[in-house]
Amino acid sequence: MQVKCTICDNIESIEDDSFEAKRLRNRRIHMYLCKSCYDRIEYKTKQRHATGKFQLYEEKKPTDDYI
């Protein structure tokens, strides 16, 4: 089946019986990310996680904010 990337409109064809195809057919959400967009998002997500950890660490220290 042919799928269109939600982000860059790049059209790719995937195996009809692949996990991705089944997932797209079962749910009516047509959200498909091509490899390059997927990699880009994964990278951003990892960056956000790193930032999140940093913020968590920051929050632990100042306990006298409300005084």
Can you tell me whether residue 29 is helix, strand or coil? coil
Residue closer to Zn ion by CB (options 1, 50) is: 1
Pick the closest to residue 35 from 23, 46, 43, 27 (CA basis): 43
Distance CA 21, CA 29 (A): 12
CA distances from 18 to 15, 32, 36, 44, 65 (A): 5, 13, 19, 26, 53
Cβ closer to Zn ion: 44 or 53? 44
- Residue 3 is a binding residue for Zn ion (CB under 5 A): no
Query: Which residues in 4-63 contact Zn ion (CB under 5 A)?
Result: 5, 7-8, 10, 34, 37
Total binding residues toward Zn ion, as defined by CB under 5 A:
6
User: Which residue lies nearer to Zn ion by CB, 7 or 21?
Assistant: 7
Binding residues for Zn ion, per CB under 5 A?
5, 7-8, 10, 34, 37
